[in-house]
Amino acid sequence: MSQHEVAPTAEHVALATWSRLVEPGDAMAQAAVQAMGPCEALQWLESATAAEIPPQLTERVERWRQRLVTADIRRELAMARHVEAHVVIPSDDEWPAGLDDLGAEAPLALWVRGHVPPLARSIAIVGARAATRYGERAAAELAVGAADHGVVIVSGGAYGIDAAAHRGALSGESADDATVAVLAGGVDRLYPSGNESLLRRIVEVGAVISELPPVSAPTRHRFLARNRLIAAMTSATVVVEASHRSGARSTANHASRLLRPVGAVPGPITSAQSAGCHAMLRDGQAMAVTSAQEMIELIEVVGHTHVQEPISASGPLDGLPEDQARVLDALPLRAAVSVQSIAAAAGMAEREVRGALGLLELAGKVRRSADRWART
Amino acid sequence: MSQHEVAPTAEHVALATWSRLVEPGDAMAQAAVQAMGPCEALQWLESATAAEIPPQLTERVERWRQRLVTADIRRELAMARHVEAHVVIPSDDEWPAGLDDLGAEAPLALWVRGHVPPLARSIAIVGARAATRYGERAAAELAVGAADHGVVIVSGGAYGIDAAAHRGALSGESADDATVAVLAGGVDRLYPSGNESLLRRIVEVGAVISELPPVSAPTRHRFLARNRLIAAMTSATVVVEASHRSGARSTANHASRLLRPVGAVPGPITSAQSAGCHAMLRDGQAMAVTSAQEMIELIEVVGHTHVQEPISASGPLDGLPEDQARVLDALPLRAAVSVQSIAAAAGMAEREVRGALGLLELAGKVRRSADRWART
């Protein structure tokens, strides 16, 4: 019997129930649970009289009770067991610590198929569903490179960039603990159906997660709310392709609010699918990410200090003192020429040219024949 | 007789001679000319005894005299006239004012074919010679878009990005004053030869410029020094494609040192020709530029403040109050459903749902049939 099959505690059941009553990010539910404890808050919800409910909670309590009527947590836990899902609550080791940074908007519980890997070194790779081949290739290559360095890749399980990122992570040296998909609906349904076999594979080696109980439909509101979980449970978010108004940018915005580093992958300026990434670069919201190494730097380098590369153009003159470089530059490619001729071409005195030629000869870069000099 | 055919003044002849004696950016020559005046400095160079030469200038004077022996400024001015080039000096109206920001490294004179247009609104577009089709297309489109807004495009006349930028500028609404090419060798030779007809066209409507007199060969040192002129005479520099160690980055570095805005055009992360641009974005040296409009903003917006676009994903829910959005979101795409069913799906009280449905009906977004509601 694995730890996932241990019978849930009363606290697990209570928080699972709460996750059934609320919409994602319900700060009032979070406050009630924090103030009373999950079991006590649930009892209070079931039995409180109108006089016992603070006026500012009246409407919300009505909403929760609306759902409490139809909720059957035993049935939902049974459905979860049926797909081998288990409930993870904040006091569990498996709980992603980063979620706590969401404060009042943190989820009350997670429904998990598989097992959530440690997320201390994790990156969200997200982007457009209608991705280009370029974007999918970039997402996959970034994911595999990061996964090979032990970074867990988290995404939303959607078509396009999300799927490419998951696939990249799974194709690395070890698929174990490589990737996590966070869904906007219940984990009983591996949505979208075209990604079902991919998500099934993620369940085997990583985890498919939702804050909503089985049977919950992935509404648009829930998709947007889901993005905050992806941003919060990872150390950084990288957007691979996004149109100007893509939902992937909402994940990046959550990451920015949580002070997580944000990366954006540049692409052709002629591609509408890269326009959102470029806007993030222009706004200063995101750091340009062009390789797995640069992506890893997002979570390893505080403040993103970089060693600047030497800027000068490369060539045979590199690293030479200026006078030697000018002399070598003044030498024709093949012909041998006199010191006078070199001096005139380089704009240097003959004495200086002779000194530079001697050092270049020692370095094997020029050779003398009679009174003339040539490149080697 | 156009103004270009006016006989040069003594000052023009003296500075033209100086431009023959020095290598680009010779701060000592600039200092001597500033201190004594160009004619007097030349006389001093011709006749000063060893005792009259400050010790720190001895070596440099030897260099200058080395070339003075072979210089024949009458012949060079005649050659310039032969290709209809004229000498422009700092006191001329045609002198690009931005060059003065180079201080001691400013050129002493310019040799000009054509006529230098006013450069108050000008942008340098530079990049790799070994450009991709993507890069050439981007350069041309940025150039034509900016030229159509009266921005003068300055570049280096080289193959690849430079040529595409010049061509783009020439293909705008008006080619007059549209573009300037700054060469690393004498303007008598329109180098590289494959661009000769392009450069000839630039001479007709704009200007081809060099700080070196006719017959001067474009050495590597002179190519790099030429880049400072391109950066200084324009209001901003945009790099379209550059490998990690491209010379185009030296132009950008000069622009940065001169506190001119720098732009870089993103490209595919799989393209080595965009690696230099991406490095500039990562270093914070450059602003991402993806359109002519954004390029023009570099020279028009101080501090690059941008109005941030709304971030939320688009769709039928846009702009709706949260409750109406949730209700609409909870409605199936086609089926009509009861208020109870909507309330349960949206996690809202029936009373709230009824209110939202009424407003949505007024907005024409839902319709009622008997006791059920559907999207319109």
For A:309-348, CB contacts with B below 8 A are: 309-315, 317, 325-326, 329-330, 343-345, 347-348
- On the question of pLDDT at A359 being above 90, the answer is no
Domains in chain A: ranges and CATH: 73-303 (3.40.50.450), 322-375 (1.10.10.10)
- Give the CA distances from residue B94 to residues B209, B233, B298, in Å, rounded to whole numbers and listed in that order: 12, 12, 24
Model pLDDT, residue A1: 35
Q: What is the pLDDT along chain B (376 residues), one digit of tens a residue?
A: 344 556 789 999 999 999 999 999 999 999 999 999 999 999 999 999 999 999 999 999 999 999 999 889 999 999 999 999 999 999 999 999 999 999 999 999 999 999 999 999 999 999 999 999 999 999 999 999 999 999 999 999 999 999 999 999 999 999 999 999 999 999 999 999 999 999 999 999 999 999 999 999 999 999 999 999 999 999 999 999 999 988 899 999 999 999 999 999 999 999 999 999 999 999 999 999 999 999 999 998 544 333 333 333 344 556 677 788 888 888 877 778 888 888 877 778 888 888 888 888 877 888 887 778 888 8
Q: CA of A20: how far to CAs of A46, A182, A183, B261, B355, in Å? A: 14, 17, 15, 54, 24
Query: Is the confidence at residue A152, as pLDDT, over 80?
Result: yes
Look up tokens 């379209």; give the residue. B240
User: Per-residue confidence at A306, pLDDT binned at 50, 70, 90?
Assistant: very low
3-state secondary structure A136-198: HHHHHHHHHHHHCCCCEEEECCCCCHHHHHHHHHHCCCCCCCCEEEECCCCCCCCCCHHHHHH
A96 CA to chain B: closest CA distance, Å? 26
Here the tokens at position B27 are 């701060």
The span from the CA of B150 to the CA of B175, in Å, is 10
Binning pLDDT at 50, 70 and 90, where does residue A317 land? low
Q: Residue B6: what pLDDT?
A: 63
Beta bridge partners of B367: B374
Give the HSE-up count for residue B20: Cα atoms under 13 Å, Cβ half-sphere: 26
Residue B309 has what pLDDT?
34
Model confidence at A362: pLDDT above 80 = no
Our CA-based measurement puts residue B82 at a distance from the nearest CA of chain A, in whole angstroms, of 24
Kindly tell me if the per-residue pLDDT of A305 is higher than 90: no
Q: Which range is least confidently modeled, A42-51, A329-338, B85-94, B101-110?
A: A329-338
Q: What share of chain B is helix, strand, coil (3-state, %, to 5)?
A: 50, 10, 40
Q: Considering only CB atoms, which chain A residues are within 8 Å of B352?
A: 59, 63
pLDDT at A206: 98
Average pLDDT rounded to a whole number, residues A107-134: 97
What are the residues facing A369 on neighbouring strands?
Answer: A372
- Do the chains contact at B245 and A343, CB–CB below 8 Å? no
pLDDT band with cut points at 50, 70 and 90 for residue A314: very low
pLDDT at A312 (0 to 100):
38
Judge: A269–B266 Cβ closer than 8 Å, yes or no.
yes
CB of A271 closer than 8 Å to CB of A301: no
- Cα–chain-centroid distance for residue A42? 36
Interface list for A 70-99 with B (CB within 8 A): 70
pLDDT in tens, A201-240: 999 999 999 999 999 999 999 999 999 999 999 999 999 9
Name the B residues in 242-281 with CB < 8 Å from any A CB: 244-247, 249-250, 253, 265-270, 274-275, 278-279, 281
At A318, the pLDDT band (50, 70, 90 cuts) reads: low
State ipTM: 0.76
Q: Does B294 touch chain A (CB under 8 A)?
A: yes
Per-residue pLDDT for A310 more than 60? no
Q: Which residues, 6+ apart, have CB-to-CB distance to A259 below 8 Å?
A: none
Q: Is A215 in CB contact (< 8 Å) with chain B?
A: no
Distance of CA A137 to the CA centre of its chain: 16
